[in-house]
Structure 1
Amino acid sequence: MDYTGIAMKNLSKNIGKYTTFFIACISSLALNFIHSTLVYNDIVLISKNNVLIMILKLSMVIIIGMLSYFLIYAYINYMKLREKEFRLLMLIGMTKKELFRVLLLENAILLLICLIFGIFLGAVFSKIFFMSLLKYLGLNSINLKLIKINYISIISFGVILYVIIGRMAKKVLTDITTLEKSQSEKLKLKVKNIGKIVSLIALIILNLWLWIYSSSNKNYIPASKWVNCVTFLYILVFYVSKLILNLFNKKKYFYNGKLLSFQATIKNLYKGDTFLFRITFFSFLFITINSIYKIYIHDTAKVSLNEIKIINLIDSFTNITFFFILASILYFKSQIELEYMKNYFSRLYLVGLTKNELRAAAKRLLTSIFFTSCTLNCFMTIFYLLWVRLELRYFKSNLVLLLLSYIFNFIAYSKARDKYDLIIDAL
């Protein structure tokens, strides 16, 4: 069997579906290259200051981690969109083993293309970023040198990503037949519920341990309060919010459109609670760590003026990138659900709902997708910063980050709303 030929044919047929994956993958590889260039090259005192190196590595871990999550999430959903294609290939005689080999070849070709573009863009933007940094600092006598570790870093990330999405492809293929899918869904639900309980118990134990330890060591009080906030966020997302929504759902005084739209919101929350928690947790982690290292740099570490400028520049770059990625993830989620919602709205329209009622339902659904995590993060961040009594000068920078988050999410929400309005107008 010509596996390569089939893989190339499948890729050319589905290339439009992989556009978002390509952009995210190339961006993550290029960002990895840029950060590794700054960390592993002797640039303006960076190699002489452990604090600055730590911040650079930390920002790289957060951004690459967030992009990796997006890539895996996007890949799984693309595989699910191709289920009909996989069933058809199996119907004409292809075994799961052969189909898996084809997918491995597809993934290899995809990532090879992304690596080539990622290295090229990473090298170009590293030089642009480096020259901007030197101009910002008023230095002109230092040259950027790309070394082996830059290329090793990006290739290693590509290999790790290939292994992960290969495993994801294998998982999707186990759900091909109806019986297997039914059994798999039951098992996943059981594991998910057990995982929630185990995670909650682990968080409670960690809270108790930190509370006891911080009573004798005052330096651990901020960490203890941070874990308290994460635990509260966990309970709020997985338990309290569902209880409140179900209580409202039992009320019958809503007119028909609002009741249905509320039911859609509840269903969306039940289906995506883990996704919602992860997104909110990432945002909360990012903003609070951002504050902690700024406090440490300004109040504790001996950092020169030039190094503070470098930190501020990297901080701004990382902030914009992070919240752009976050808004992109939410926008991608709304587009993945677009086909399902198209059929859902068609059924509701046939049973008598007006287009205005459908628009209200779409608005509520998209609001829950784009602003639930943002609002939870805003609430928890402000609560935490007030609890640890952060100085006003640091508090302002966090408010700017929260505002930036809302701006990017609103832009993505507006674009998604236009697409949902189009499918409602076409009914």
Structure 2
Amino acid sequence: MTFRSLAFNNVLGKWRSYAAFFLSSVFSVAIFYMYAAFLAHPDVASGEWPAAAKVRQGMEIGEYVIILFSFLFMLYSGSAFLRTRQKELGLFSLFGMTRSQLRRLLVYENAVIAVLSTISGIFLGILFSKLFFMSLAALLGMADSIAFAVPPLAVGLTAGAFFVLFSAITAWTALRVGKTEIVDMLQASRRPRDELVYSPRLVPLAIVCLSLAYAMAFALRPANLDFLVLPILLTVLLGTYLVFTQWTLWLLNVLQNRPNIRYRGTNLIVLARLGYAVRDNARMLFIVSVLSAVILTVSSAFYMLGYAAPDDAFKERAALMRFIGLFIGLLFFIASGSMIYFRLFTELPEDRAQFRALRRIGMTKNELRKIVVTETAFLFYVPCLAGIAHSLVAMKALDRLLQTSYWAHSFVVIGIYLALQTLYFIVTCRNYMKKIVPGEGEPHENTV
């Protein structure tokens, strides 16, 4: 078996873990292509449509946002993939693979994902570009629709940008391989979990930071806007990070120390698993909560501005920016859900072994389902609720800043977001339960 076929088989064999990352990458490529196709369209580039100049800058900024976000998302995903595959890489080393061969294997695997996602993303972008052009033409008030075109410059720019992006992530991943000893790789999944630890000093600091940030947000006025924006952003980020790394662990510890809560139903298992889930995934929960806040704040702001606009020209510009931001918001949403999906399915073998042990000591399938649903709901909705809280404060501050009364309109955006999040949760939870609960769904596949 060659390295290329081994890499390809590895990707296929772990497709359930790779699927969410792959789909997020495809969506990123597709959106980037559609923006690039509009900017490189012959009629737009030649200046034949003056109305297109209204959205050119927004499209260009959107492309930079997509590339930056995709880099950070892939960097996080690559690090998480590498961490969960320590045992597998250790076995390859034990069977005689050198460090350079391990790096080569990972390069081939990343190349498979890169080529498939780039080609699929460009194809998807081409497929939906006509609809994208038609929607833009309608928003710009153009009499004629934008003709369908596949600009070679857009294809080349998209392929080139993501080639550089994937190459950078692949190089970083390859450099990290080989820094861990074989014994440590093999024992990576067998190390006993440390006791859950939090700092009594940092727990109240999380609440202090968020309270201070919210107070400053409500104190925003045109005169102090430039002075307060950065402190608000920094204290919100610090407070949110401390909520997931310190305060949540403290809260779970408090609940575990109350016998009337701890020994009720399956709470003993649920609280213990949630504690380790939060401790091991605090950074992921922090990132998802920030992404949720960004999605909701930007979407709600454009939605509010559409109502608060004093004239038709401003309303049109707000509608155009909302349209451009819609796709980036969808990208953020899919990526945040993918991080949670990825966490669940990369730790599937370990979780399955724990649930089988619980089944052997007498737990019923309904009790196992309750544990799965509770833990999955926590991972999906807690960072989502944190993002909603940040967004509502930001929207209330914007409402006061603009001296308007359209704050309640942000609940429309929040409702749509919660509906989409719930749909994502149901699909993920159902798929995960089929794999984790003995006797549910299809037979279990073998994993390395």
Give the shorter-chain TM-score range. Answer: 0.7 to 0.9
Please state if 1:326 is matched with 2:336. Answer: yes
Please state if 1:37 is matched with 2:34. Answer: no
- 2:399 touches 2:407 (CA, 8 Å); kept in 1? no
Of 424, 431, 438, the match for 1:412: 424
Q: Deviations over 1:159-191 (max 9, x none)?
A: 1222113312432543362247889x99xx9xx
Shift in CA distance, 296/401, structure 1 to aligned 2, threshold 3 Å: closer
**Cα distance, 1:70 vs. partner?**
4.2
- 2:93 touches 2:99 (CA, 8 Å); kept in 1? yes
Shift in CA distance, 288/54, structure 1 to aligned 2, threshold 3 Å: farther
**Cα distance, 1:63 vs. partner?**
4.7
Query: TM-score, length-normalised on structure 2?
Result: 0.75
Q: Distance in 2 between matches of 1:173 and 1:392?
A: 58
Q: Deviations over 1:227-251 (max 9, x none)?
A: 4433432332222222121111122
For residues 125-140 of structure 1, the aligned pairs below 5 Å read: 125-135=128-138, 137-140=141-144
Q: Distance in 2 between matches of 1:155 and 1:135?
A: 31
Q: Give the aligned residue type for 1:401.
A: V
Q: Deviations over 1:186-221 (max 9, x none)?
A: 9xx9xxx9xxx9xx99x98xx99xx7xx89942326
For residues 89-238 of structure 1, the aligned pairs below 5 Å read: 89-135=92-138, 137-140=141-144, 142-143=146-147, 146=151, 148=153, 151-175=156-180, 177-179=182-184, 217-220=223-226, 223=229, 224-238=231-245
| Counterpart in the other structure of 2:388 | 378
| Counterpart in the other structure of 1:271 | 280
**Cα distance, 1:157 vs. partner?**
2.7
**Cα distance, 1:119 vs. partner?**
2.8
77-86 or 121-130, larger mean C-alpha shift: 77-86
- 2:293 touches 2:391 (CA, 8 Å); kept in 1? yes
Query: TM-score, length-normalised on structure 1?
Result: 0.79
- 2:27 touches 2:331 (CA, 8 Å); kept in 1? no
29-38 or 351-360, larger mean C-alpha shift: 351-360
Of 353, 360, 372, the match for 2:363: 353
Q: Deviations over 1:350-399 (max 9, x none)?
A: 23333333222212211111111111111222233224445443541x32
Shift in CA distance, 355/173, structure 1 to aligned 2, threshold 3 Å: farther
| Counterpart in the other structure of 1:260 | 269
Shift in CA distance, 9/64, structure 1 to aligned 2, threshold 3 Å: same
Secondary structure at the residue paired with 1:426?
coil
Of 277, 280, 295, the match for 1:286: 295
Identity %: 20
**Cα distance, 1:142 vs. partner?**
4.4
**Cα distance, 1:111 vs. partner?**
1.9
Q: Distance in 2 between matches of 1:336 and 1:92?
A: 23
Aligned length: 406
Shift in CA distance, 118/421, structure 1 to aligned 2, threshold 3 Å: closer
Please state if 1:17 is matched with 2:20. Answer: no
Q: Deviations over 1:396-422 (max 9, x none)?
A: 1x3233222222221222223324443
| Counterpart in the other structure of 2:437 | 424
Give unmatched runs, 5+ long, in structure 1.
Answer: none
296-305 or 66-75, larger mean C-alpha shift: 296-305
| Counterpart in the other structure of 2:59 | 56
- 1:334 touches 1:369 (CA, 8 Å); kept in 2? no
- 1:242 touches 1:270 (CA, 8 Å); kept in 2? yes
Give unmatched runs, 5+ long, in structure 2.
Answer: 441-448
Q: Give the aligned residue type for 1:12.
A: N
**Cα distance, 1:100 vs. partner?**
0.9
